[in-house]
Structure 1
Amino acid sequence: MLLRPYAAVIRGRLQWGLEFRLDDSGMIVEVGPHTGMPEPYVLTPAFVNAHSHLEYRTLMGQIPGGDYWTWIRQLTELKKSQTEAEVVASCDLAAAENRATGVHFIAEHSDRPFAGASLSRHGFEGPVFQELITFLEQASPEEKRQIVLDRAATQGAAVSPHAYHTVDESSLRWVLAQGGPLSIHVAETQAENDFTERGEGPLAAFYESFGFSRPPTGKSVAQSLLDLGFAGERVQFVHGCALSDTDISLIAGADVSLAHCPRSNIALGCPTARVRRWLDAGIRVGLGLDSAASSGPIDMFDEMRASLDLSRAIGEPITAEEVWWMATGGGYASIPSLPKVPYDLVPGAKMPLLRLSVEGAHETEDLLGLDPTAVSWIDGGDGA
């Protein structure tokens, strides 16, 4: 197959005048200058959703934003009213919308055990993380571990803790001992650091209201997890809004990746993630669409715009090229368990490819103004 777009996105940068020859397996075997008239589209690797909650799609617009802790309590209550059929329908709808916005790889967080089947039905690749929560559960931590193991087995998922403050320490150590890939919500709010450093703030008050306590570690939530052993390339931290410079340095040194979910963070009043500092530290960073219940419509272009705008608003700008890379090759590298292969338009690489219908694009930032209607898949390569 010979692809001759007028431009292509290579490591996030828009480049002109190149054509791509693929073998029968879809591998890029040659990249060279145009040998004929180009076609009116831009070629890019398919997008990577580095953090997702498919099961909350049908809750979009039902919970007011503005405050994370109010939002999460309302989400927990709404979940109780959902039937299995409703959750399955939510997963299928979100999967279809991820496909429509050009996503192929997803790192999915799943509470109820239905997302994995939806991802399979729609042809996605990527790990499913079956979330473990042991705080305020009817089952004991040991019983909850077995429940989550059983759920994970039904959808080929890896057991992973939801967050430091929702999982007891013995269960955190148990998850580490399982040896699988891990993805955990970390420092989405400053309250998590207040809780681990000093045993103060809304999380400590919430624990106390139920007669529980948890000794502070004297360190940030990120450092507390690193000390427990949540380190190495099998670990992904999600959100990281309230990471300090020390946290960022330690995360980089521990080879832990980060998932950035800007629209969700904006909606829930979270601190602004210091993505410029993450990238400068050499951390592998992916862009996550999170859940439609917090982020809104499933749209990777809108997510990229939000990331760029947030970085500029705090005076620590990232570039459009870096944002695109976070949504493609950088995002791929950030997801634990994916094969270590090139994810870019280079010889020897093999990946699903997108055709973007856009005329007159001069730089990557011009592409950020698109929406899912501009997306089509090369040779039906959507995996569906």
Structure 2
Amino acid sequence: MTAPPETGGGLLALVGGHVATNDAGRSEHGPGHLVVEGQRIVAVGAGPLPAQYREASVVDASGCLITPGLVNTHHHLYQWITRGAAVDGTLFEWLQTLYPVWAGLDVGLTTTAATGALAWLARSGCTTTTDHHYVFPAQGGDLLGAEIAAARRVGLRFHPTRGSMDLGVSAGGLPPDDVVEDVDAILAASEAAILTHHDPSADSMLRIALAPCSPFSVTAGLLTASAELARRYGVRLHTHLAESTDEDDYCREHFGRTPVEHLDSLGWLGPDVWFAHAVHLDDASIARMAATGTSVAHCPSSNARLGAGIARARDLRAAGVAVGLGVDGAASNEASSLWEEMRHALLFARARGGPQALGVRDALDMATMGGARVLGRQDEIGSLEVGKLADVAVWRIDGLGHADVADPVAALVLGGPPPLELLLVNGRRVVESDAVLGVDADELAAEVAAASRELWARAGQAR
């Protein structure tokens, strides 16, 4: 493997590119400059580099678009080694196919899967990512610790969640009994995850949240106890909600309520909560989420891949709900590109609501500041402003695929995937010229393929 990313330090200046700051006024500078010192942005503006920064190390960003790094608000990293299964199934059919396979996860397999998934996310311009890991086989080892180590290796800002399931099929849930855990064990592991890993500091690279999996895989008791524990320690809460009509039917049959009404009755709405998917929401649910400050991770590609529907992104944003973007698990979004989520969010919103439903800069905002708001980090990341953390993506848009697009932001959002010239996370170089610096891509690809074969073999299926 190659050496890990170089630590940020000194002055680094990006000059000559079109700078889309995504600040409150959506200021843009073309050509412009951006200067980083250590972990933070110290200057951004139009024109050439100011004289006081002449000692900076200069990166010529001519022909490039400079944006905030993209923020991924929902993922399942372990699924990187189970892609391409149940490709024509519904959500419930897909889950029932894969639950028995995921029961074979251990530290080694999870490390390989997470490293592959994180490296690919970095290639798509992602600087901050969440992860929702909720499968903890009894003999699997420290799977949360494994993915945290993988994120350190790749160099991304990481918000993993300690997920959980306690409602097996014998008790009326969807997952097999052998992949659920005891409530007391879940709560003990959740508290240990917070105490061991959570860093609440302003420049944190690692924050923990708690994430019982879904209404059809966890009990009301676990949801209530997890919320109490999270709020005791001041960490955020996350779960899947309203992803499919099957889930809506399940909630009405078992609880006599919509998914949002069910979670609301358990104290699971508020500014410290974000839901993944939120596809099947009525007007009352959207209004209630807006009133309580509850956020959404919109996952358009995964929802389309599973035929689950498309979230009402325009209506959610219009109501005042913070909406970020999520890749979702690699097994339901084999592309796993956060850049693609930005494009799909725009196209699907327009397919549903017409050409004014979402603008190209709205899509960029969802991929950056929208995600930052979902994670409670809008004062630190999500825009290119003096004092903010230096999470920056530099996209090359002067090649054949983009050079004639008049609007640089439209080139990024509507064009094909542009080469990623540079990715900075906390001031550190993580990607250069489309290559992730902390990994050998060919070697990692071979490791991923071997890990996938091993996991499927453990489930008694040859791949």
Bin of the TM-score, shorter chain as denominator length:
0.7 to 0.9
2:76 is aligned, of 36, 42, 53, to 53
Q: CA deviation at 1:23?
A: 5.1
2:167 is aligned, of 123, 129, 135, to 135
**2:22 corresponding residue in structure 1:** 11
Structure 1: which amino acid aligns with 2:279? C
Q: What CA distance in whole angstroms lies between the structure 2 residues aligned with 1:97 and 1:154?
A: 27
SS in 1 for 2:240: strand
**1:350 corresponding residue in structure 2:** 389
Alignment of 1:8-87 (within 5 A): 8-11=19-22, 15-22=28-35, 24-35=37-48, 39-87=62-110
Deviation per CA, 1:241-286: give whole Å up to 9, x if none: 1011111111011101100011100011102211010111111111
Structure 2: which amino acid aligns with 1:181? R
Q: 1:299 touches 1:372 (CA, 8 Å); kept in 2?
A: no
Q: 2:301 touches 2:344 (CA, 8 Å); kept in 1?
A: yes
Alignment of 1:153-192 (within 5 A): 156=198, 157-178=208-229, 179=231, 180-192=235-247
**2:286 corresponding residue in structure 1:** 248
**2:324 corresponding residue in structure 1:** 286
**1:206 corresponding residue in structure 2:** none
Q: CA deviation at 1:85?
A: 2.1
SS in 1 for 2:303: helix
Measured at CA, do residues 122 and 153 of structure 1 come closer, stay the same or move farther in structure 2, by a change above 3 Å?
A: farther
Alignment of 1:193-204 (within 5 A): 193-197=248-252, 199=253
1:381 is aligned, of 406, 429, 433, to 429
Q: Greater shift after overlay, 140-149 or 47-56?
A: 140-149
Q: 1:102 touches 1:375 (CA, 8 Å); kept in 2?
A: no
Measured at CA, do residues 147 and 21 of structure 1 come closer, stay the same or move farther in structure 2, by a change above 3 Å?
A: closer
Q: CA deviation at 1:133?
A: 0.6
Q: 1:301 touches 1:372 (CA, 8 Å); kept in 2?
A: no
Using the aligned pairs only, state the percent identity.
Answer: 24
Regions of 4+ moved over 4 Å: 147-156
Q: 2:396 touches 2:418 (CA, 8 Å); kept in 1?
A: no
Q: Greater shift after overlay, 157-166 or 305-314?
A: 157-166
Measured at CA, do residues 14 and 309 of structure 1 come closer, stay the same or move farther in structure 2, by a change above 3 Å?
A: farther
Measured at CA, do residues 14 and 55 of structure 1 come closer, stay the same or move farther in structure 2, by a change above 3 Å?
A: farther
Measured at CA, do residues 342 and 145 of structure 1 come closer, stay the same or move farther in structure 2, by a change above 3 Å?
A: closer
Alignment of 1:223-372 (within 5 A): 223-316=261-354, 317-336=357-376, 338=377, 340-341=379-380, 343-359=382-398, 360=403, 361-363=405-407, 364-368=409-413, 369-371=415-417
Q: CA deviation at 1:169?
A: 1.1
Q: CA deviation at 1:150?
A: 5.2
Aligned residue pairs total: 366
Give 5+ residue unaligned stretches, structure 2. Answer: 1-11, 50-59, 137-142, 169-176, 199-207, 432-437, 439-463
RMSD over aligned CA atoms reads: 2.6
Q: 2:295 touches 2:374 (CA, 8 Å); kept in 1?
A: yes
Measured at CA, do residues 151 and 348 of structure 1 come closer, stay the same or move farther in structure 2, by a change above 3 Å?
A: closer
Measured at CA, do residues 2 and 141 of structure 1 come closer, stay the same or move farther in structure 2, by a change above 3 Å?
A: closer
TM-score after normalising by structure 2: 0.73
Q: What CA distance in whole angstroms lies between the structure 2 residues aligned with 1:93 and 1:14?
A: 35
Give 5+ residue unaligned stretches, structure 1. Answer: 200-213
Q: What CA distance in whole angstroms lies between the structure 1 residues aligned with 2:210 and 2:428?
A: 33
Q: What CA distance in whole angstroms lies between the structure 2 residues aligned with 1:342 and 1:88?
A: 27
Q: Greater shift after overlay, 97-106 or 117-126?
A: 117-126
SS in 1 for 2:216: helix
